[in-house]
Chain A
Amino acid sequence: MKKDRLQRMLVTSASSVLAVVVALVICAVLLKVTGKDPIKAYSTLFGAASEGKVLQDALNRATPLFISAAAVAIGFKMNLFNIGVEGQMRVALLSTAVVGGLVELPAPLHVLFCLVVAMVSGAAWAGIAGYLKVRRGVNEVISTIMLNFVALALVAWSFDVFFREETDSASLLVKTKELPTSAWFPDFVDRRLNGMLVVALLVLVFFYVLVWKTKFGFRLRASGGNPGAARVTGVNPMRMVAISMLLSGALAGLVGMRALLGDVHAYQNGLAEQQGFNGIAVALLGRNHPVGILFSGLLFGFLSAASGKLQLEEIPKEIVTIMQGIIVFAVVIINGAVKRWDERRIQRRAAAELERRAVEVAAA
């Protein structure tokens, strides 16, 4: 049994590594075809790994990815596809920037208060999709896509009308009122690596313990894996849907906090953009497991941190986006193939066992 688990783990990690290799090969071909030198590109890209600054930046960029991937993965464990992490994050960003500025608290409490506000507002926005799913049977994929756009519009509009601060035109960017310093999340390395990394790692630990070590997590995985069987054992699937949607939304609320509390300290348009979407890719590559998410988040964070170096070599840094897209594609295709191979293997083993027993019976 243990050997089986080990084998499965090896196959899983091997297929993820293979996906990355496939993406590298395809991108090398693309680089070559478009007249760029792939060897130079890759040596620049991965050569950046020897620089401490780039690595710090990579960790910093990985921080929101860890959280958004966990948000997506919690949904996946329940067979829920929360594409709305981006929108939930956006709602949480503005409400935290506004509500966080209303109170006066000592430093650690104020940060904590902001994080709670973010989680509550993210969960509230996700709750709309949860309600529509549970009460009205609306597919969460469709509703979260639509709600993303509604969130985008609503946040942009209310920011524009109510919350933007009249600046003395010194800076071109319009922001909300800056949060007091007590709400700032401290940096590890000044302006380079923010302390939110700790929160992100805690989120991954929380995700692991919740899903694999608690009764709730067992029910969650059971309803995701076999809803019929779960219902027979007394799990209310609709309740599980509602709870996991709210949990996912609460985590989604935290995604933008590195940018808000740790960097800009105010809301502005385009803040933390795409960090919710990218979590989907990281969760898929990490196979919805915290350890996998850790590795894939680091990889994605590193790729985007090192992509700036490519510009210096006259290679468009957008090649990294293509690489990330191909990685996602390759990993899901390989997973499909491996799953099929695994099923066949089990079928073959069962068939052989049956035959052996039949021979035994015949001999007796």
Chain B
Amino acid sequence: MSTETLTPDSTSTTSWWGGLSRRRRTMVLSLAALLVLSIVRIITGADDITSSGTVSSTLRVATPILLAGLAGLWAERVGIVNIGIEGMMIVGSWLGGWAAYQWGSWPAIAIAMCGGALVGLIHAVATVRFNVDHVVSGIAINVLAAGSTEYLSIIAFKGKKGAGESQSPTGKGGYGEFDMPFLTGGRIGSWRSPDILGWIERQHSIPLIPDIAGFLRGLTSDVYLPTVLALAFIPFTMWLLWRTRFGLRMRASGESPAAGESLGVHINRLRYQAMAVSGALAAFGGAYLSCVFTSTYRQGQTGGQGYIGLATTIFGNWTPLGVFRGALLFGFPTALKYRDDQNVPALFLVGAVILLLVAVTLVRRRQFSTGSAALVTAAVAVWIYAAVAEVPETLVTATPYVVTLLVLAGARQQLRPPAHAGQPYRPGENH
């Protein structure tokens, strides 16, 4: 990976940490996060925090965010800023709902992806052909998508059975689910294999081990097939970006299109192709909401998840695995909330501990202002845990944005956006 060649300043960090490779550090950090969760689970008795059920629903909540994040990644890697992800998701969710009640669930996803690709191409035509400011075009797409789906809903759904001015009829057909044999009791033929991880998970008195088991079990049991499809885009994108000629050209287009062009790369054609994929991925995320997560399209269903996706692209440092990590992190609070409101206060304790660690790191790096901002947020989180009996959903929804802002403000040296993203480019005029 290109980002692995970067070595962040190791002067302010301890020697063992500085000596670790980036991949090892991520492993250590993930284990540390699980440990924090595990301790909080034992202190508060909120066993659900790391149960496989929670992880499993986190995965469901995270899938549309993951897809939106990948949509942002595909666009920005070729140098196009995609603020229109939200609009593309709206189009996807509408098309999904519209197609699902007529032709069933899988065609709905396919139709939504085609429609999303078209919207992605509109964004590409505006930004590539006409050199429109990327942000402006994205905003126009969001306005247009919201307006036209509202209009078309009235035309297409009003008066249909079980539908209304802002809601589609219930979709036909469902999707299969997937369980891993031997680990989570998946079937081989007609024989049901043992659920080993499930057994480990139930040993609540031990720290850490049941949490790891719960995490793994959540990722491998009761997984919707569309989720599997969405997850498959992670290794696919990684392979494409770093192992193929096409991916190299994509990255060239995002980093230095003039250099790519001088080597004979058709920058504009490449950008059209990548934007079509970006739009299709975002629309898949939208269709996931209206066909998989629920079975009807509702107006306003995406609720800003396209923007969370955008945040995930940044948080994930423009890498597929990073986007996945961000999607899981951002989906976690919502999933906990869905399962049981009682869990959420415990989450604020988790947040406080993590923010405290961040603050310590920042202060050691002499970034006092951001460090104290993190410290204040941590104090507020502890106060909320102690004082507020029920945590309002509104604050939970803000976490992805606050986290992304803190990351942008505090760890910007470690972020590496494509150098040319968002800048105007005309082939043949960059000498």
B-binding residues in A (CB < 8 A): 30, 34-35, 81, 83, 132, 135-138, 141-143, 145-147, 149-150, 152-154, 156-157, 160-161, 277, 280-281, 284, 316, 318-319, 321-322, 324-326, 328-329, 332-333, 336-337, 340
Contact = CB atoms under 8 A, between A and B. Distances in A.
B135 A141 contact: yes
A157 B394 contact: yes
Interface string B3-21: 0000000000000000000
A160 B137 CA distance: 35
Interface string B375-417: 0000000000000000010110110011011001100100000
A281 B139 CA distance: 9
Given A316-B150, A336-B130, A149 B405 contact: no
8 contacts: A136-B409, A138-B408, A138-B409, A146-B401, A147-B405, A150-B401, A322-B147, A325-B140
Given A132-B409, A332-B126, A316 B133 contact: no
B126 A329 contact: yes
A237 to B, nearest CB: 18
B28 interface: no
B33 to A, nearest CB: 22
A321 B143 contact: yes
A286 B88 CA distance: 27
Nearest to A161: B392
Contact of A322 (B148, B314, B398): B148
B228 interface: no
B131 interface: yes
B412 A284 contact: no
Interface string B302-317: 0010010011001000
Contacts of A152: 394, 398
A326 B144 CA distance: 7
Nearest to B136: A332
A141 B72 CA distance: 15
B182 interface: no
Given A322-B147, A325-B144, A141 B83 contact: yes
A38 B132 CA distance: 30
A135 B126 CA distance: 33
B155 interface: yes
Q: Which of A137, A156, A329 counts the most B-chain CB atoms under 10 A from its CB?
A: A329
Given A132-B405, A141-B83, A319-B151, A332 B132 contact: yes
Nearest to A333: B130
A325 B151 CA distance: 13
Nearest to B86: A145
A326 B150 CA distance: 15
Given A322-B144, A328-B140, 11 more contacts: A30-B148, A34-B155, A83-B139, A143-B405, A145-B307, A149-B397, A154-B395, A160-B392, A318-B151, A321-B146, A332-B136
Contact of A284 (B126, B136, B405, B409): B136
Nearest to A128: B405
A117 B146 CA distance: 33
> Contact residue range for chain B?
35 or more
Given A160-B392, A321-B150, A329 B409 contact: no
B27 interface: no
Contacts of B133: 332
B32 interface: no
Contacts of A284: 136
B326 to A, nearest CB: 13
Given A284-B136, A329-B140, A154 B398 contact: yes
A318 B144 CA distance: 10
B154 A318 contact: yes
B152 interface: yes
B140 A332 contact: yes
A157 B143 contact: no
B394 A156 contact: yes
Contacts of B273: none
A191 to B, nearest CB: 28
Contact of A145 (B148, B152, B155, B310): B310
Contacts of A336: 130-132
Contacts of B405: 132, 138, 143, 146-147, 150
Nearest to A278: B143
B388 to A, nearest CB: 8
A325 B84 CA distance: 13
Contacts of A157: 392, 394-395
A326 B130 CA distance: 15
A313 to B, nearest CB: 13
A156 B370 CA distance: 25
A333 B132 contact: yes
A337 to B, nearest CB: 6
Contacts of B310: 142, 145
A336 B126 CA distance: 9
A277 B140 CA distance: 11
A135 B373 CA distance: 14
Contact of A143 (B148, B150, B408): B408
Nearest to A141: B135
Q: Which of A35, A146, A328 counts the most B-chain CB atoms under 10 A from its CB?
A: A146
Given A321-B151, A325-B140, A153 B395 contact: yes
B136 A83 contact: no
Contacts of B150: 316, 318, 321
Nearest to A326: B144
Nearest to A319: B151
Nearest to A146: B401
Given A160-B392, A333-B130, A142 B408 contact: yes
A35 B132 CA distance: 33
Nearest to B311: A146
A41 to B, nearest CB: 12
**Which 8 A-B pairs give the minimum distances between C-beta atoms?**
A321-B147, A325-B144, A153-B398, A325-B143, A318-B151, A146-B401, A318-B150, A322-B147
A35 B158 CA distance: 14
Nearest to B426: A340
Contact of B155 (A35, A135, A150, A281): A35
A149 B143 contact: no
A83 B75 CA distance: 20
B397 A153 contact: yes
Q: Which of A141, A143, A325, A328 counts the most B-chain CB atoms under 10 A from its CB?
A: A325
B190 to A, nearest CB: 49
Given A149-B398, A325-B144, A280 B154 contact: no
B395 A324 contact: no
B345 to A, nearest CB: 15
A37 to B, nearest CB: 14
Contacts of B144: 322, 325-326, 329
B140 A149 contact: no
Interface string B245-279: 00000000000000000000000000000000000
Interface in B11-65: none
Interface string B108-149: 000000000000000000100011110111011001101110
